[in-house]
Amino acid sequence: MIAPEAIDHVGIAVADLDGAIARYTRWLGVAPFAREEVAADGIEAVLFQVGPNRVELLGSRRADSVVDRFLQRRGEGLHHLAYLVPDVAAALAAYRAEGATLIDEVPRRGAAGRLVAFVHPRSTGGVLVELCQSTAVGP
Amino acid sequence: MIAPEAIDHVGIAVADLDGAIARYTRWLGVAPFAREEVAADGIEAVLFQVGPNRVELLGSRRADSVVDRFLQRRGEGLHHLAYLVPDVAAALAAYRAEGATLIDEVPRRGAAGRLVAFVHPRSTGGVLVELCQSTAVGP
């Protein structure tokens, strides 16, 4: 049982990050509150607050990044669904107990220093699932 | 400007609705609160509450339904992103003003009698967008 507290955010892959930021700023009526390059992954993430939730735009910064490969294969669109959970390690353990394929075997630091982990879509009915920990962790 | 108040729900296309209901009930830690057949569209929708948000599973009830075509083309996975908005007609007007392709030219009754409308993914960077009205409307 993952028992999420909310949808944390929805990740959306975009081909032209700056163009998408302009459109989403217009649609959502707010400017993004964070823009972060994840150099190791070759991607850039931009976050908008939407009430209790967030929308995350994902752009590729290099050929063959995960976002680049997604865009090549499927085009722009919904990329992943992130749930807010009290304990990412416990949620991972629940997926592991049912034989799920985990992308992250242990929680890692994601955007804004939060603990996160991804579960492979082959174990979740085609949905790339991210688990985001709601409680703060030490520095 | 659409200015959504929240992510209302995320719609997920599934091949085996009953199997998916069992898995999501286990993952989300709650049973679905609604199951509704949309006979005109040949689909069935099942809703789970996740904190302030919902997860909607979409199954096909006949060949060539929108869900069936989605599954044929892309397989199981994230199908649409629904925003909660105070006024669906106003949000549609904002999309129309920027030349977006609307699937619903006017709001219609969706699940649970709420006003909803869909915007075509070609106008939203590959994301099928549903607008759901937060305020109740008359019977």
Q: Rounded CA gap, A22 and B127, in Å? A: 16
Q: Which tens digits make up the pLDDT trace of B4-58?
A: 999 999 999 999 999 999 999 999 999 999 999 988 889 999 999 999 999 999 9
Beta strand A77-85 pairing with A6-13 = antiparallel
- How many domains is chain B partitioned into structurally? 1
pLDDT at A109: 87
**Which pLDDT band holds residue A39 (cuts at 50, 70, 90)?**
confident
Q: Rounded CA gap, A88 and A82, in Å? A: 11
Distance of CA A43 to CAs A34, A59, A121, B27, B123, Å? Answer: 14, 6, 20, 29, 24
CB of B100 within 8 Å of any CB in chain A? no
Residue B70 falls within a domain, yes or no? yes
Among A10, A27, A98, beta carbon nearest to B10: A10
CA of B71: which chain A residue's CA is closest?
A126
Chain A neighbors of B131, CB-CB under 8 A: none
CB of A99 within 8 Å of any CB in chain B? no
Among A14, A51, A125, beta carbon nearest to B6: A51
pLDDT at B135: 73
Q: Rounded CA gap, A125 and A122, in Å? A: 6
Contact B6 A77 (CB under 8 A): no
Q: Which tens digits make up the pLDDT trace of A56-111?
A: 999 999 999 999 999 999 999 999 999 999 999 999 999 999 999 999 999 998 87
Residue A139 falls within a domain, yes or no? no
Residue B57 falls within a domain, yes or no? yes
Q: Which ranges in A29-132 belong to alpha helices (H)?
A: 66-74, 88-97
CB of B139 within 8 Å of any CB in chain A? no
In the predicted structure, residue B137 carries a pLDDT above the cut 70:
no
* HEC secondary structure over chain B: CCCCCEEEEEEEECCCHHHHHHHHHHHHCCCCCEEEEEHHHCEEEEEEEECCEEEEEEEECCCCCHHHHHHHHHCCEEEEEEEEECCHHHHHHHHHHCCCCECCCCCEECHHHCEEEEECHHHCCCCCEEEEECCCCCC
Contact B51 A6 (CB under 8 A): yes
- Alpha carbon A12 to its chain centroid, in Å, reads 9
Chain A neighbors of B4, CB-CB under 8 A: 28, 50-51
In the predicted structure, residue A25 carries a pLDDT above the cut 70:
yes
ipTM of the complex: 0.95
A26, B1 Cβ separation under 8 angstroms: yes
CB of A52 within 8 Å of any CB in chain B? yes
Contact B127 A77 (CB under 8 A): yes
B50 min Cα distance to partner chain A (Å): 5
Q: Rounded CA gap, A22 and A35, in Å? A: 13
CB of A73 within 8 Å of any CB in chain B? no
The model carries a pTM of 0.95
Residue B31 falls within a domain, yes or no? yes
pLDDT at B118: 96
Residue B78 falls within a domain, yes or no? yes
**Which pLDDT band holds residue A113 (cuts at 50, 70, 90)?**
confident
| Residue A136 CB contacts under 8 Å (≥ 6 apart), including other chains | none
Domain region containing B85: 6-133
pLDDT averaged over every residue in chain A: 94
Q: Which helix (H) or strand (E) holds A108?
A: strand A108-109
CATH number of the domain where residue B56 is located: 3.10.180.10
**Which pLDDT band holds residue A135 (cuts at 50, 70, 90)?**
confident
Residue A112 falls within a domain, yes or no? yes
pLDDT at B138: 53
In the predicted structure, residue B90 carries a pLDDT above the cut 90:
yes
Residue A1 falls within a domain, yes or no? no
pLDDT at B26: 95
Residue B1 falls within a domain, yes or no? no
